[in-house]
Structures are given as C-alpha cells and as structure tokens.
Structure 1
Amino acid sequence: MVGQMKLMIAEEQKFQGKALSLSHTKTAITTIKEKFTEQQLQMFEQSCFGHLLWIEDLKWTSLIVHGLLLRKADPKTVSQLNEIKFIVGNKVIQFTAQQFCIVTGLRKGLPRMRCVDDVLKLGFVYFAVFVLLGSEKHVHIDMRYLKLAEDLEDFGKYSWGVVCYAKTNASLLRALCANYKRVKVPTKTAKTKKFGKKPTTTATGRPREYHLKGFAYALQI
C-alpha cells in the first residue's frame, strides 16, 4: 500500500524533539468557569463548544505527537490535497477533516439565545481563538470573530470544524520542516551555564522544539 511513498525524514535522520501545543485548554476553560455566572456557564454548556468543557484535564503527550510527525510522508511522493498522511509500518494513515470533526464533536450550532451579554460573547471568541485555533497569547484576536460573535446564532453556524482543522493541518504539515518558525525563548537575566546546552536544531536545520497551532489534541487522540 505504501508503494513509492517515502518518509519526509529518513529513518537514519530521526531525532529527539519536543512538540508543544498552543491550545490553551486548561487555562481557557478554568478562566471561563471562574468568570462566568451560573446562567452564562449553562448557556455555554448548551452551545457547540459546551462538550469541550470536559477536556480541561486532557494531557498533552509530546512524545506521541513528535513520534507521529517523524512518520510524515514526503509531500513529493504522496498526494496531500486536504489532509496530512503518515507512513506507519507498511500502512499509510491520514488525518482528515472528517476525522477531526468526529474527535472534536464540532458539528451542532448554538441554541437560540435572547439578551446575550458581552461577557458571554467574548467567552465564545476567547474559547475559539485560544483553545480551538491554538493562537499565541500575545497575538491580537481577529476582528472577524468579534464581529461574528455579535450574532451568536451565526456564530454557532460558522464552520468551526473546517476552520480549526485547516489551522491544525497547516501547522502539522510545516512541523519539522527546516524553515519552520522555531520557538523563541525569552532572554534570561540570570547567568546560564554555557556548557551542556543542547542545540536547538538538527544538522539539517530542523527544529528540536516547536509549537503546533490549532487543536493538535485531535491528532494525539
């Protein structure tokens, strides 16, 4: 089944690395539960995002994700129009938008709501941006989502599964590529030891530590 497909990273070039998820699940869910009133929380639970409040303690396992990304098929040897493909053993597996929606449950819309306050609207945008779209905390929120939240009925009908999958898939495809944006480590004021420091990239320029945007938890699951 593998045929002429090849790995993007050859077996002999495998390396230890750390995949970091930018989906701030625990932080965002804890904040929503603390800031929302009982009524606001109940309305959120009835929405298309409501079932995801239960993933607060979902653990991110870097080894699993990095190990799988090392098995990515070379895009030059396989058709990857709308999904990412991996070569595991003698089989080719893929991560499709349909699978993503099944795992995340992003299907149904929001219930009809009256007298929705701004706090609740911001809560939906906050959850979408920092949990499902996995954005850096210092990045400004896209105004399109703020405008969309003005009408929560339209917000619920929005194709969140498609948008979230596209963001996740794009990040996974770029991961481990030599030109992928590496993690920026803040400059420390304290003196650090110069010896024993591991290189941040491999000999081929691939990052050993990298961030994944979107909701990469779905790939792990």
Structure 2
Amino acid sequence: MVKKEISRKRRRVESELRIPDESRHFRTDLICRAQRTVLSRITSTLTPEQLRLFERTCFGYLLRLPETKFSGILVHSFILRQLHRFSARDEFWFRISGVDIRFSPFEFALVTGLSFSRRTDISSYIPHSSSHRIRDTYFRGCLKVQYHDLERVFLSRPWGDDDIDAVKMALLYVLHMVLLGNDRRKKVSLEYLQLIDHLDGFNSYPWGVAVWQMTYESMSQASDRVYSRRMPEMRRYELYGFPFTFQY
C-alpha cells in the first residue's frame, strides 16, 4: 500500500508545473552563446570552390538555414513552463497552452539534422598514425587553443590556396561557435583538432550527441537556477550548445 501511495504521489507531481503559479514568472535577459551569424561569415570568407566543398560536409546543410535571431524571451518562456518529470532522463517536458511537449534527443535530431549514434568514442574515428598538424600549423604558440583563437585564425585566412584546409578550419569554426556555443575562453578539445585532419572520420562522427549533451546540460543548470528560491533576483543567464533548436 505504501509503495502504491508513493507511486500515485509521484505520478501526480510529474504532471505538475515546476512553477504552477504564473504570478511567479519573471523577466530576465537570456543570452545564447551560439553565434548564428558565423554561418554568414563562412559564406563571405570562403571562395566559391571552398564553399562547394564545404556544402558536401556533415555541416554543409547549415548554410541553408533561414536567418534567425535568437529569442531569449521565447526560450525563457519554455523554461518557466517546465514540468516535473523525475522518470524522464535526458529530456525535458513543458506545458504550452495546456499541451505537454517533450524536448529530447529525438526531437533535437529531427530539428537539427545532426547524426546520433552509440559509437561516440572519438578516438575510434582518428587513425592511430594521426599527428597534430592542424594545431601545429595554425595554432603555433598557443599553450591551449580557445574558442576566440578559432575565430581569429579563420578570419585571417592563413591557409592560402589550400582549399581543403580552408574547409577544415570552417568546420571547426562552425562546430564550436554555432553548435557548441560557449564562452570564448573555453578550451578546444585537442581530439577535435586532431580529428578535423581526417574528414571521413569527422563527417561520420555523431556530432548530434555532443551538441545535445552540451545543450541539455546547459538548460538543466539554467532550469535549476530559474526554480531556485532567489529566482526573482536572476537578472540574466546564459545557454550553451545550440538552443536555436527551439526556433526551427
């Protein structure tokens, strides 16, 4: 009987809004670290031949996304309407106009078009004989490569007439500044810098998993802050990853 009662209470709680009283909703500035404008910089920086090559990569279709400005008001409104879902792992539930809506890896994959797979060990996509050519060639002197280094190097076009390296640098730029949006001081993975020199492996890697994980973890942390007791004092917060998903 006790177990059944606990189960009933849990189901009842899971159907409730985390903030049932809308009078407790509040306004705030929500900052998105993903830079949608990077895609237009790719178009304006690469040559026609380099663009043609880029469009054949795993991120090429992103250049065809419609121009969209991030709406912090929209995403914040979703977060304010989140449901209790203790049994739901790796997903969110929201109640919008009386309808319960799920946001999970499934919906994320449908909207973004990014690939998902259980084979996420990045080392299995990098040949054993792989070197650190990209890092040594384009980031020489950097003790650690950060997001802002990627932008600085890409915009300076140091690859000369090497169309393939131009595409590789563009892929790194899009991956970090658009899909894995984060603080510009964030360190870039050395494995990513190594993998990019092997386009077959880079294009077949399930980037949707990494992008979803960053987006999900960022939203989870933001949700916990929003629902804390001091939430009316929360003047601004940030989201990492690719929260643009809510708008496509």
1:17 maps to 28
1:34 maps to 44
What is the TM-score with the length of structure 2 in the denominator? Answer: 0.69
Q: CA RMSD in A?
A: 2.6
CA distance in 2, matches of 1:120, 1:64: 34
Identity between Structure 1 and Structure 2 (%): 29
- Sort the Cα spacing of 1:176 and 1:107 in 2 relative to 1 into closer, same or farther, 3 A: closer
2:234 is the counterpart of 1:207 = yes
What is the total number of aligned residue pairs between the two structures?
Answer: 191
CA distance in 2, matches of 1:205, 1:142: 36
1:62 maps to 72
1:119 maps to 166
Structure 1 contact 21–60 (Cα < 8 Å) conserved: yes
**Structure whose alpha-carbon radius of gyration is higher:** 2
Structure 1 contact 179–206 (Cα < 8 Å) conserved: no
1:96 maps to 104
Q: Which amino acid in structure 1 is aligned with residue 25 of structure 2?
A: K
Runs of at least 5 residues in structure 1 that lack an aligned partner in the other structure = 109-114, 181-200
Aligned partner of residue 25 in structure 1, secondary structure: coil
Structure 1 contact 176–206 (Cα < 8 Å) conserved: no
Structure 1 contact 95–219 (Cα < 8 Å) conserved: no
1:178 maps to 225
Runs of at least 5 residues in structure 2 that lack an aligned partner in the other structure = 1-10, 117-161
CA distance in 1, matches of 2:229, 2:12: 29
Cα offset, 1:61, TM superposition: 1.4
Aligned partner of residue 51 in structure 1, secondary structure: helix
Cα offset, 1:107, TM superposition: 3.6
Cα offset, 1:204, TM superposition: 4.2
Q: Which amino acid in structure 2 is aligned with residue 151 of structure 1?
A: H
Aligned partner of residue 140 in structure 1, secondary structure: coil
- Sort the Cα spacing of 1:206 and 1:91 in 2 relative to 1 into closer, same or farther, 3 A: farther
1:188 maps to none
- Sort the Cα spacing of 1:16 and 1:212 in 2 relative to 1 into closer, same or farther, 3 A: same
What is the TM-score with the length of structure 1 in the denominator? Answer: 0.76
Measured against aligned partners, the alpha-carbon deviations of 1:32-51 in whole angstroms (never above 9, x if no partner) come to: 12221221111111222111
Cα offset, 1:136, TM superposition: 1.9
Cα offset, 1:174, TM superposition: 1.4
Cα offset, 1:79, TM superposition: 1.9
Structure 1 contact 202–208 (Cα < 8 Å) conserved: no
Q: Which amino acid in structure 1 is aligned with residue 13 of structure 2?
A: Q
What is the 5 A alignment of 1:24-173?
Answer: 24-26=35-37, 28-55=38-65, 57-74=67-84, 78-107=86-115, 117-173=164-220
Cα offset, 1:206, TM superposition: 5.9
Q: Which amino acid in structure 2 is aligned with residue 139 of structure 1?
A: K
